[in-house]
Amino acid sequence: MTNIDKKSKFKQELLAYTLLIVGSALFAVGDVMFVNPYLMAPGGTYGLSNVFSSLWGGRIALYAICMDVPLLIIGTWILGPKFGVKTIISTFLIFGFTYLLELVWGYVPVIHDGAVLTTAPESVDGYVVLKEHSIWFKPDYILNTVVSGLIYGVAIGMIFRSGATSGGSDIVSMILHKYTKISLGTLVMIVDGIITVSTFIAFGDIRLPIYSIIIIFIEGKVIDMVVDGMKSYKTMFIVTEEMEAVRDYILNDLKRGGTCISGTGLYQGNERKMIYVTLDRTDMVKLKGRLHLIDPKAFVNIMDSSEILGMGFKALPKE
């Protein structure tokens, strides 16, 4: 390995661990300062820990680590060494940041329509009470849910980009997938769904699982943006009788390349050529408009492309 390669690898690792640390810290912020005070549980071991902490007292971080460590051990035993060093580090980083925030910040919500710190329980309609910590506040569920989803999404997206995995309750889904053959995505939804429903069972408020599910939805969208980037690409398959004119426009006006694929039409059996090209959203709109002028009868299939690697786009990873 050359010195340049060593420097490049060092920079990549430095970036990865920076993302891991910042993402773990953000996750703790989202959980302690936004999700837990509203008694919500958007999946995962920390979602379940929020319920346990609110019901029985005790630290969220301690409940979570007591689930995460056995799950990592059981997962490694049943599934093999799938969980890398970064996943283990992330598990303990999140635990550490969460525990620290619980000690320093406590459980006071950041977003509310008015909070009262009191030493004795008080029955006030429309207020949420955290009995153990004697905090009463009037909630703003919508704003808090949106902010929670954004923070969780950015945090977990950064952790994923660092090369770590979420671990936790996902390990349960992976184990069930091994023995049931139900798709992993379906099992993740089932496990997280059960955790969100636990808030209704524990607190009797139907809004809590609904808002928790909304957090999961927002979180998923933000994770995709963080991992795949904001730029949206479109892949177009174009069958046209005006092949040269379309080719000329792509090469000379859009300054893009593409691939010409030969094929046979199913209906008449005629030989046809098809252009395969990947463009950003702006160039895709330009090409659609020009196709209408060049060949209104052209057949076009457009697909979303979440990640494009190679010449003219993002570089292929070295490892």
DSSP class of 229: -
Amino acid 314: pLDDT: 62
DSSP class of 111: S
Amino acid 143: pLDDT: 96
Mean pLDDT by 10 residues, the chain (319 residues): 68 89 96 93 92 90 94 86 82 95 90 69 52 71 95 91 78 83 77 91 91 92 78 83 90 88 79 86 85 88 74 59
d(CA 43, CA 57): 19
**Phi, then psi, of 313 in degrees rounded to 5:** -130, -150
Strand pairing category for 115-117 and 135-137: antiparallel
Amino acid 27: pLDDT: 95
Check residue 278 and give left, alpha or beta (phi > 0: left; psi -120 to 50: alpha).
Answer: beta
Closest CA to 20 of 77, 115, 72, 85: 85
Amino acid 68: pLDDT: 93
Q: Is residue 298 within 8 Å of residue 242, measured between CB atoms?
A: yes
Element housing 130 (H / E):
strand 128-130
Q: Hey, what are 127's tokens?
A: 């207020």
Amino acid 7: pLDDT: 73
Amino acid 234: pLDDT: 84
Q: Is residue 136 within 8 Å of residue 122, measured between CB atoms?
A: yes
- In order of 45, 67, 105, 143, the CA distances from 111 in angstroms are 24, 29, 14, 8
Domains of the chain with bracketed CATH: 3-228 (no CATH), 233-305 (3.30.70.120)
Only one residue has tokens 């936790």, namely: 168
Element housing 276 (H / E):
strand 271-280
- State which amino acid sits at residue 53: S
Q: 0.85 exceeded by the pTM?
A: no
Which residues, in sequence order, are CB contacts of 38 under 8 Å at separation 6+?
109, 128, 139, 141, 144, 145, 148, 208, 211
DSSP class of 38: G
